[in-house]
Amino acid sequence: MSGDKSSLRVAVTRRLPEPVESKMRELFDVRLNEDDHRMDRDELLALMQDSDVIVPSLSDRIDGELLEKAGERLKLIANYGVGVDHIDLPGAGKRGILVTNTSGVLTEDTADMTMALIIAVTRKLNQGMAVMQSGEWEGWSPTAFLGGRIGGRKLGILGMGRIGRAVARRARAFGMEIHYHNRNRLDAECEKALQASWWDSLDQMLARVDVVSVNVAHTPATFHLLSARRLHLLQPGAVVINTSRGEVIDENALTRMLRAGEIAGAGLDVYEHGHEANPRLRNLPNVVLLPHMGSATVEGRIEMGEKVILNIRSFAEGQLPPDLLSPGGI
């Protein structure tokens, strides 16, 4: 691959880690979002009309209408992130615009955060932190802050892709029993290595597990996969964890059930309406809420940038970008 600066005009919609932006400045005719504001539709459209490549991230909704109005020169959407549910892939395909993501590099970080939420909710870390932060701790007591033991609990993983499998590996090390529901069953060797049991029926798995971890991508087929009906299949002592996409869970139903004590707890990093978490989830003692930080490590975010650069450079050299997505979806 040549080191020459390409004449490709590349527009990046959010601030990226400094080493990534520096490399992009060296390689491309790049426009950066210096103050990191969230771009509105008009700004996005202006970039899409005047760039060869745009680098959006999950806060940019690139729908069919924007794609139809995109300029002739737009040929690649090199998404900074793995999830592409904010991009109309068939719409991009119709316009002959390629779409890539950054799969692989945020698997381990997201799985770490999933495990952190499982532990935080089950062992009531938020309640302990609140007491320490308020200065009201009165000392050790045999019956204070009692959570549940992680080892021996049944974990049901919904979506056994890269991240689901990375969660399974961690949970095994904590002594959890691994169950999973996935469109396709893993091969026998992989199932054996993870000591994982496959459930063809999601309903049946939900009725039997202590913790559910959502690790499936958001697509039209997975919208509200954890519907009110399915949430009611969970045992009252169950805990729901989501580090994938909020749309997979009916958030209002989950909130109602948490408030009514029909589900024991939840650890959420993502919400059905982007950054607007249901306000009735706040301040619940059995809920840990995070601001979509599953992949937020310095190392991961730099690797994501490196993947974006590799995808753009491959495209510029007439090769298929390594993380090319099919217009039909992921």
Q: Name the site residues for ligand DGY (rule: CB under 6 A).
A: 58, 81-83, 106, 294-295
Q: Least CB distance from residue 319 to ligand DGY, whole Å?
A: 23
Q: Least CB distance from residue 82 to ligand DGY, whole Å?
A: 4
Run of H or E residues at 173: helix 162-173
Q: Which of residues 13 and 295 has its CB atom nearest to ligand DGY in the complex?
A: 295
Structure tokens at 174: 């904590």
Q: Least CB distance from residue 79 to ligand DGY, whole Å?
A: 8
- Residue whose C-beta lies closest to ligand DGY: 81
Q: Which of residues 164 and 294 has its CB atom nearest to ligand DGY in the complex?
A: 294
Q: Least CB distance from residue 186 to ligand DGY, whole Å?
A: 22
**What is the residue whose two structure tokens read 């290595």?**
193
- How many Cβ atoms sit within 10 Å of the Cβ of residue 323? 20
Q: Which of residues 81 and 156 has its CB atom nearest to ligand DGY in the complex?
A: 81
Beta strands in 2-89 (DSSP E): 9-12, 29-31, 53-55, 76-78
Q: Least CB distance from residue 294 to ligand DGY, whole Å?
A: 5
Q: Least CB distance from residue 112 to ligand DGY, whole Å?
A: 12
What is the Cα–Cα distance from 126 to 53, expressed in whole angstroms? 43
Q: Which of residues 210 and 247 has its CB atom nearest to ligand DGY in the complex?
A: 247
Q: Least CB distance from residue 308 to ligand DGY, whole Å?
A: 11
Q: Which of residues 154 and 218 has its CB atom nearest to ligand DGY in the complex?
A: 218
| Residues 263 and 231 sit within 8 Å (Cβ to Cβ) | yes
Residue 226, strand partner residues: 249
Q: Which of residues 81 and 159 has its CB atom nearest to ligand DGY in the complex?
A: 81
Q: Which of residues 50 and 306 has its CB atom nearest to ligand DGY in the complex?
A: 306
What is the Cα–Cα distance from 119 to 116, expressed in whole angstroms? 5
Pairing of strands 154-158, 98-100: unpaired
CA atoms within 13 A on the CB side of 59: 13
User: Would you call 189 exposed, middle or buried from its count of C-beta atoms within 10 A (0-12, 13-18, 19+)?
Assistant: exposed
What is the Cα–Cα distance from 203 to 187, expressed in whole angstroms? 22
